[in-house]
C-alpha cells in the first residue's frame, strides 16, 4: 500500500507540473505537499522493512502540516502575510527543539508500533494541534463567508474546502483515539494504525487531484517582474481582483472601472496586460469567460440550464457575443464542443 501511495504521489506531481505553466503560490504548495507526502510514504515503506528513519519523517511531517495550513490561507486570502510566516517558523523551531529532545511522531518499525511519550507529546496533541485546526477552521469559515452562492466556481471552492477540513478533523480525532487506546493498554502493542496514515495520505492525494482546476490560476505568480516598483501594478492585486474575485464574470466589466478599482490609470493597466499576456483587456476578459463557460459545460450544467443561461453566468450580455467569442478561441460552436466532451 505504501508503494501504491508512492506511485500515486509521483503521478500527481507530474500532473501538476505538466504543461510548463507558471507556478502560482497555491500550485507550488500543492506540488511541495505532494512531494513531502510521497517522501514520507517512502520513509514509512523503509521503516516497515527494517530501516529506522523516524527522525527524518518527523521533520517532514511538521513541514507538511505547515504547508497544508498555508493552502487554506492562500485560498481564503490569496496571500501569505509575513506575520503568519514568522509564526510558522516559530512553531517549526519549537518542533525542532522537541525533536532534539527525542520527540517523534508515531510510526511502525518492522511491524511494531512505536510512540514515545514525552512532555512535548502532550503539548503537541492538546495545544499545537488544536491551534492548527482552529486556524484552518477560521480560514474555511472565511471562505464560506465570502463565497457567492450563485457563483459555481466559488461554490466549488467552498465545498472542496469544507470537505478537506472535515477530513483533517476526522483524522486528528482518529489518531488521538488510536494513541489513547494504545497508551491505555486496551489494544496490543502491535496495534496497526497504519490504515490511518495510509487513508489520510490517499484522501489528501485525491483532494489535490480533484481540486477545482481554476484554483491553479489564482495566487501570486512567480515572475521576473518586481511587484514593488513605484507606479507599477502589483501582480498580486491584479490577480486578486481579476481572477480571485472573478471580475471578468461581471457583465459590465470594462477597462475604466477595472483601472479605478485597481487604483491605476487605464494606460498602466493596458501596458501591464499587454506585457503579461499580449492581449487587450477585452480579449483577456472574453478568454476567461470562455474558460469559465467551458467548465460549466464540462460539469454538465447544460443538462440543467440553457445555453443562454450559461452564457449569462459566464458574464456575456447575450448569446451571440458568447458564440462569437467561443468560435474565435475554440474554433467550433458550443454545441460541437458539447458533442466532443
For 316, other C-beta atoms within 10 Å of its C-beta total 23
Q: Domains of the chain, with CATH numbers?
A: 2-217 (1.20.1070), 235-340 (1.10.10.60)
34 close to 205: Cβ distance less than 8 angstroms? yes
Round to whole Å and give the CA distance between 98 and 230.
Answer: 44
Round to whole Å and give the CA distance between 201 and 197.
Answer: 6
Predicted confidence at residue 108, as pLDDT, reads: 64
pLDDT in tens, the chain (341 residues): 889 999 999 999 998 887 666 677 888 899 999 999 999 999 989 988 888 888 998 999 899 989 988 988 888 777 788 888 998 899 899 889 888 888 887 666 565 666 677 778 777 777 777 888 788 888 888 877 766 555 556 677 788 888 878 887 887 787 777 767 767 766 655 456 677 778 888 888 988 888 877 676 654 443 333 333 345 787 777 887 888 788 999 999 999 999 988 888 888 899 888 888 888 999 999 999 998 898 888 877 778 888 888 999 899 998 899 999 999 999 999 989 888 87
Round to whole Å and give the CA distance between 143 and 73.
Answer: 9
Taking the mean position of all CA atoms in its chain, how far away is CA 130? Answer: 21
Per-residue three-class SS string for the chain: CHHHHHHHHHHHHHHHHCCCCCCEHHHHHHHHHHHHHHHHHHHHHHHHCCCCCHHHHHHHHHHHHHHHHHHHHHHHHCCCCHHHHHHHHHHHHHHHHHHHCCCCCCEEECCEEECCCCHHHHHHHHHHHHHHHHHHHHHHHHHHHHCCCCCHHHHHHHHHHHHHHHHHHHHHHHHHHHHHHHHCCCCCCCCCCHHHHHHHHHHHHHHHHCCCHHHHHCCCECCCCCCCCCCCCCHHHHHHHHHHCCHHHCCCCCHHHHHHHHCCCHHHHHHHHHHHHCCCHHHHHHHHHHHHHHHHHHCCHHHCCCHHHHHHHCCCCCHHHHHHHHHHHHCCCHHHHHHHC
∠ Cα 47 50 51 (to 5°) = 55
Round to whole Å and give the CA distance between 219 and 32.
Answer: 16
2 close to 176: Cβ distance less than 8 angstroms? no
Predicted confidence at residue 190, as pLDDT, reads: 47
Share the mean pLDDT of the chain: 81
Predicted confidence at residue 277, as pLDDT, reads: 83
Round to whole Å and give the CA distance between 341 and 171.
Answer: 37
Please report, in angstroms and rounded to a whole number, the separation of the first and last CA atoms in the chain: 34
Which residue from 61, 143, 137 is spatially nearest to 105, judged by alpha carbons? Answer: 61
Predicted confidence at residue 149, as pLDDT, reads: 56
Question: Cα-flanking dihedrals φ and ψ of residue 253, to 5°?
Answer: -60, 130
Predicted confidence at residue 114, as pLDDT, reads: 67
181 close to 197: Cβ distance less than 8 angstroms? no
pTM of the model: 0.63
Torsion 9-11-12-17 (CA) sign: positive
Which residue from 148, 95, 107 is spatially nearest to 313, judged by alpha carbons? Answer: 148
Round to whole Å and give the CA distance between 12 and 209.
Answer: 7
233 close to 272: Cβ distance less than 8 angstroms? yes
Predicted confidence at residue 79, as pLDDT, reads: 77
Amino acid at each position: 500500500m505504501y508503494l501504491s501511495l508512492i506511485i500515486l504521489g509521483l503521478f500527481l506531481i507530474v500532473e501538476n507540473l505538466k504543461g510548463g505553466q507558471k507556478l502560482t503560490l497555491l500550485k507550488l504548495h500543492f506540488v511541495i505537499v505532494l512531494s513531502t507526502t510521497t517522501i514520507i510514504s517512502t520513509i514509512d515503506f523503509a521503516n516497515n522493512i527494517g530501516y529506522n528513519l523516524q527522525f527524518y519523517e518527523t521533520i517532514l511531517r511538521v513541514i507538511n502540516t505547515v504547508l497544508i495550513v498555508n493552502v487554506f490561507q492562500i485560498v481564503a486570502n490569496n496571500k501569505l502575510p509575513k506575520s503568519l510566516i514568522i509564526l510558522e517558523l516559530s512553531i517549526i523551531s519549537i518542533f525542532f527543539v522537541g525533536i532534539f529532545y527525542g520527540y517523534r511522531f508515531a510510526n511502525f518499525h518492522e511491524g511494531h508500533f512505536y510512540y514515545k511519550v514525552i512532555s512535548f507529546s502532550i503539548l503537541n496533541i492538546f495545544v499545537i494541534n488544536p491551534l492548527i485546526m482552529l486556524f484552518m477552521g477560521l480560514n474555511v469559515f472565511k471562505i464560506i463567508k465570502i463565497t457567492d452562492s450563485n457563483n459555481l466556481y466559488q461554490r466549488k471552492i467552498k465545498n472542496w474546502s469544507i470537505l478537506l477540513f472535515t477530513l483533517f478533523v476526522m483524522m486528528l480525532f482518529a489518531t488521538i483515539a488510536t494513541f489513547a487506546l494504545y497508551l491505555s493498554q486496551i489494544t496490543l502493542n502491535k496495534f496497526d494504525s497504519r490504515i490511518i496514515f495510509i487513508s489520510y495520505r490517499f484522501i489528501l492525494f485525491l483532494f489535490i487531484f480533484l481540486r477545482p482546476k481554476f484554483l491553479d490560476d489564482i495566487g501570486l505568480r512567480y515572475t521576473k517582474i518586481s511587484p514593488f516598483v513605484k507606479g507599477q501594478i502589483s501582480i498580486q492585486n491584479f490577480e486578486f481582483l481579476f481572477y480571485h474575485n472573478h471580475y471578468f464574470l461581471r457583465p459590465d466589466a470594462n477597462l475604466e472601472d477595472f483601472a479605478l478599482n485597481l487604483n491605476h490609470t487605464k494606460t498602466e493597466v493596458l501596458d501591464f496586460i499587454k506585457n503579461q499576456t499580449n492581449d487587450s483587456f477585452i480579449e483577456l476578459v472574453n478568454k476567461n469567460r470562455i474558460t469559465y463557460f467551458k467548465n460549466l459545460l464540462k460539469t454538465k450544467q447544460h443538462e440543467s440550464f440553457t445555453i443562454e443561461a450559461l452564457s449569462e453566468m459566464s458574464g456575456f450580455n447575450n448569446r451571440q457575443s458568447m458564440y462569437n467569442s467561443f468560435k474565435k478561441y475554440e474554433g467550433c460552436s458550443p454545441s460541437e464542443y458539447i458533442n466532443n466532451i
